[in-house]
Amino acid sequence: MAVRSRSHRLHATSIAMLAVVAVAGSAAAQTPAGGGASAQPPGKLTDNLSFFMGLDGSKQPQDLGINANMGARFGLNWGFPISRGDNLGGQAGIAVNLSDAAVHVLDQVEGTSNRMQIFATGGVFQRTPTKITWAAGFDFQYSDYYDTFWLGQVRGQIGAALSERHEMGAWMTLGVTGADVQLGATNLRLDPIAQINGYSSHVWPTNARTVIWAGLAAGHDNIVLTVSEEPRSDWVFVYGAALQMPLSDRFAVAGAANFLTPTATGTVDAFLGVVFFPGGGLVKGGGGMFRPVMPVGNNPMMPVNMKFPG
């Protein structure tokens, strides 16, 4: 069984938060004082900052076919200008998932009954005058589960505005850092699952934003610990949706869900909660060019495969 300690979790959380602050502070320090004719005017620090609090549910191949997780999620996401004249921005964010087992099996087999995840995201983005929006970044995941491990992936997105309210494009992920872990005496290998999705985004008259997507994932193993090991599923269909619905100029209901097929052995990931924007702008259309394009990493954006090494 993995050794758990409160001080170890606090240490990991501190490292992740310091990394995000360092990236954000470095980028902000390089921001020019002024810009060209198309430059965005200086704003407040809180204009592009948001805080999330809500629920998170997840079932992935890393759950061994015998578990799922349900719990609370807390996070922040911040956008900042790198070059106002070029509408080039950066984003940094961190989130914590505190979950309990939703299936009464893993705790009987190995003793694990909860999981803590820390996600940290850093990246750059640009909203161009030609109505093309792109973003690229890196997601870290630290987990204290049946073992403790770090995972990493690159994530990108590009879209084109077809009108003032509609955008179409694609987003993708590619795992770059996996982990060898242990479940008792059993050796396992965990790796982020690559995926590419085409999406359609629409902003409604109430300024609610809905996104739907569909695409392909690189595949996953079909292992049910101590029960079966079926053939691997390659290039599986993936689909999902996201929502942000303003409740006022500073508060919104937001969430996302992502599913890798077949869902019995693939993924079922979703989160839903309330987002607070200190700088407002949800109803009045504020926030502008430097509001983060991509959400902070989470299970829907970072599915994880599990297999036996070798």
Residues 72-106 pLDDT 10s: 999 999 999 999 999 999 999 999 999 999 999 99
Q: With pLDDT > 70 as the criterion, what percentage of the chain qualifies? A: 85
First and final CA of the chain: distance in angstroms? 22
CA distance 111 to 209: 42
**Nearest one of 180, 141, 307, 150 to 234, comparing CA atoms:** 307
- Tokens 């099996």 locate to 105
Report residue 253's pLDDT band, with 50, 70 and 90 as the boundaries.
very high
H-run or E-run covering 308: none
Which of the following CATH numbers is that of domain 6-30+44-307: 1.20.1250.20, 3.90.190.20, 2.40.160.160, 2.30.30.140? 2.40.160.160
Report residue 4's pLDDT band, with 50, 70 and 90 as the boundaries.
very low
Q: How big is the chain by its Cα radius of gyration, in Å?
A: 20
Q: DSSP letter string over 256-294?
A: EEEEESSTTTSEEEEEEEEEE-TT--TTTT-SGGGS-SS
Mean pLDDT of the chain: 87
Pick the more confident residue, 132 or 40: 132
Domain ranges of the chain: 6-30+44-307
Q: In one letter, which amino acid is 182?
A: Q
> For 140-146, what is the mean pLDDT?
98
| Helix, coil or strand: residue 9 | helix
pLDDT for the residue 230: 80
Report whether pLDDT(248) > 50.
yes
Strands 251-260 and 186-192, by their bridges, are: unpaired
Distance of CA 149 to the CA centre of its chain: 17
Report residue 43's pLDDT band, with 50, 70 and 90 as the boundaries.
low
This prediction has a pTM of 0.85
CA distance 100 to 92: 27
CA distance 133 to 136: 11
